[in-house]
Amino acid sequence: MIVPYTHVMLLGAIVFLMGMICTLTRRNLMMIIVGLEIMLNAAAIVFVGAGLEFGQIEGQVMALFIVAVAAAEVSVGLAMVVCIYRQTQSLDPQCTEDSRCPAGTEKASEPASGP
């Protein structure tokens, strides 16, 4: 007897929330991908837990697919990040389009930006 399924779900929910916070608040393309990974991971945890709860191997299969999709996503995503970085010399998601930043934020953080 392990824990109730609710607890697994709760764990998934907390991890998913962390991933969400990461994607929504970090101004760094790389960290956004990290947040996505965490969210996918949370989903995988819940799937595996559900597979155990309902005695279905289906949940594990889904988790496997999630891993595969994550792999694909990361490879393409990181390639795009590299590509963008080469063009704009920045990982800031707000500065990637047309390689310009909204004027206000640019000014506010100008001294801090290194390269």
Partner 1 sequence: MLFQPVPEISLYLAWTAAVVPLAAFGAILVFFRRLPKTAAAISVAAAAVSLICAVCLLVRHWNMDAPLQSAVTWMASGEFEIAVGVLLDPLSLVMLVIVASIAFLVQVYSLGYMAGDAGYGRYFGFMSLFSWAMFGLVLAPNIVQVFIFWELVGLSSYLLIGFWFEKFSATRAGKKAFIMTRAGDTLFFWGWLILLVWGGTLSILELNSGAHGLSSAMTTAAALLVFGGIMGKSAQFPLMTWLPDAMEGPTPVSALLHSATMVAAGVFLMARLFGFFSQSDLAMAAAMAVGTLSMLLSATMAMVSRDIKQVWAYSTISQLGFMIMALAAGGYAAGIFHLTTHAGFKALLFLCAGVLIHAHETNDMFELGRAGARRMKAAMVCMTAGALALAGIWPFSGFFSKEAVMGALAGADNRLWLFCGLAGVFLTAHYTFRLIFIILFPRTEAAGGPGARHGSVSANAVMYAVLGLLTVFTLAAGFFAQGFEDFIRIHGGHAQEGHLASLAHIASPVLAVAGIVAAWMQFGSNASDQVGFAEKIGPVGRLFARRWYLDHVYAWITGRLLDRGIAEGCRRFENKVIEGALTMITGGVVFFGRMAAGWQRAMIQPKLMAAFAVMFGLILILLVV
Partner 2 sequence: MDMTVYAVFFYIIAALIIVSAGMAITRKHMVHAVLYLVVSFLATALLFYLLGAPLLAVFQVIIYAGAIMVLFLFIVMMIRPAPAGERSLTAGRLAAAFGVCGIYVAAALVLAFMAAPEAGRPMAAAAASPFAFGFYLFDRHWLAVEMVSLLLLVALIGALHLGRAGRRNQSERKEPL
Q: Interface residues for partner 2 in 10-49 (CB under 8 A)? A: 10-11, 13-22, 24-28, 30-31, 33-35, 37-38, 41, 44-45, 48-49
Annotate 81-111 with b (16+ C-beta within 10 A) or e (fewer): beebeeebebbbeebbeeeebeeeeeeeeee
Rule CB under 8 A: is residue 98 a binding residue for partner 1?
yes
Contacts (Cβ under 8 Å, ≥6 apart) of 62: 44, 47, 51
> What's the CA gap between 91 and 83, in Å, rounded?
10
Question: Please, what is the minimum distance in Å from the beta carbon of residue 93 to partner 1?
Answer: 5
Rule CB under 8 A: is residue 96 a binding residue for partner 2?
no
Q: Which stretch binds partner 1 (CB under 8 A): 6-14, 48-56, 88-96, 107-115?
A: 88-96
Rule CB under 8 A: is residue 103 a binding residue for partner 2?
no
Cβ atoms of 101 and 88 within 8 Å: the answer is no
Rule CB under 8 A: is residue 107 a binding residue for partner 2?
no
> Which of partner 1, partner 2, none has residue 107 at its interface (CB below 5 to 8 Å by kind)?
none
